[in-house]
Structure 1
Amino acid sequence: MKRLILSLSLLWASFPLAAQTTCDSVAIEVQFAPFDDSLIIVSATNQSQEIFSYPGFILFNNSGDTLAIGSVNLFGLGQSSSQTLSIQPAFSGTAVGSGVVQLWTNFYDSLHCTFPITGVNLCPDTCVTLYPSFANSGGAMVTGNVSWTLTNSMGQAVGSGTLEMDSLTQEARDSICINPGSYSISFTQGTASSGGQQWVGVSTAVYGGTVPMVMFNGTSETIPFSFYSQCSLPTTVQDIPGKKAVQIYAAGGSIRLNSLDGTAIGAVRLVSINGSLVVSKNFSSETAEIIAADLVPGIYIVQVQHGQQVWVEKVLVNP
């Protein structure tokens, strides 16, 4: 994700110079929450001595509409802090063309800083590291391991591994870099483990919002989750190299697919921008068409399993 460091702009010329210097020591990043499409996360780095007591952030567009507002859940801003902001009805899309982020203190009693923003994309512009995890939060020690497998929305395995806890490590995690999309992760017991309070799930380096973690039942668990569901990158670990074999486009009230290598189109899935499966069909011909008349206008993701490769295209449907 493009790192966003926002500079300070003061609302009032009479604002004290000391406060200006304090605000200049704060840098923030703005992005969607990884697992919750109703939240935006503001991450703040505070290099000043000011703690900004009981802080709250508000995101506005250039017209003054409230796009997202935070709940006060911090005593103050430390060197590194984050706050979740609830997205408001005025927000749409995946970017903020221009606007401001305001930092209020004392339960929104006093406006302290204003950060102007321009052309901010709230989506990742590259894959994001996901951490499959196996942890113990109980008093008794846990020893043993579980295996994990991550699958994308087409049911394809995109990663796997083993997580082990022993007498020295009571929290084990792996890592994999994935793009936004819909996934599920399965955990299966390997070496028998007992005792403690065992948890399995996934997390990221970005804190905020709900994290898909569940208590492990000692046998197997499968956890479905959406990852930056507002964003529309392919749900693969990396782009597939080579010459494109399928042409995908929207035209004349339909979504059309053409095989460019003379073989059958194959399995096609149409997924909405929020990760919901809309169409799933196998085409044995070299051309295919999905009628768009019954679809809600908007952006869709077309996923094609063509031979041994997966091709993904974003299309705008406007029946």
Structure 2
Amino acid sequence: MSSDYMRHHDSAPAARAKVVVSVDHDNFFTNCAGRGMDLRAEALKELCREQGRPIVSAVFADTKNLSDAERADFFQHGFDIIDCPRLGASPRAIGKDLVDAKMTSWMRTQAEHLDFDILLLASADRDFLLEIQFVRDTGRKVFIVVPTANDRPEVSGLADGVVVYDRHFYGQDSALCRVAALFERREFQTTDKDMLREMVTLREMVDVLLRDIGVNENQFGFHATLRKVVSGMESRRFSLDPAEARMLLSFLVTQGVVERQQVQVESGAAGGTANSNHGPVCYRVVENHPFVGLNLHVLKEMAGLLFSA
């Protein structure tokens, strides 16, 4: 079956690319979590906009596993949530099969009936190799969304390339950079108590990472860092549960305040030579980031004045 895209694309005038996004929630969420990141609809949509104009976006998940906040996040950013409930005696296997079947059908339907230029596929599942080839055979491009630049799943070999999930958030135009710049110019003003409270918490968390944990010197993995952040914040009379700490640490990563580094592990080899292997991911505070230079005492004083008003 030929689609409108196949019939008319060659003669169409040059225009901004039309982009379709398909997200395998469990697969991509797990891959991101292993690298210290949350799955955020806003981030996916921003990556989509970098490629062109998003026209259809869908996330495939067992909706029982999505919190109300996660559902709202996807809906607010224009994602259709396709429910893939886990059924039967072997829920994990059948749940995965149902996601694969629904995503396969969805991608083929889009390719056959929708006019678009690029498919962004957020999944490292090799079960979609045939669908990637099918979409490319219709003249479209397919890019695999990967968590970091170091990730190269097998499916990316058949696609046109990869789009890096965390790359968009590094740079001097992040929200925390802009806030720090306003403080530097003494132009920061707010009556939003919740926002200011979160700013104090984030800056205190950076202080914990720098002074209490010493992330720059020690090589802690994601979960060890979380535990130390929670205990460090408690010693400073900040109550954070692991889920909150994870969300805030992930946010600091996306804002470029904290960066992940792959630890190089030297191992001996035959003949007495040493091989360099990739070890765990550790976390390092970017000390020259404007937010790190923000005066914590001044921020607390501002918060104290607002909360006492």
With a CA cutoff of 8 Å and minimum separation of 6, indicate the structure with the bigger relative contact order: 2
Q: TM-score, normalised by structure 1?
A: 0.28
Which has a greater percent of strand? 1
Q: TM-score, normalised by structure 2?
A: 0.29
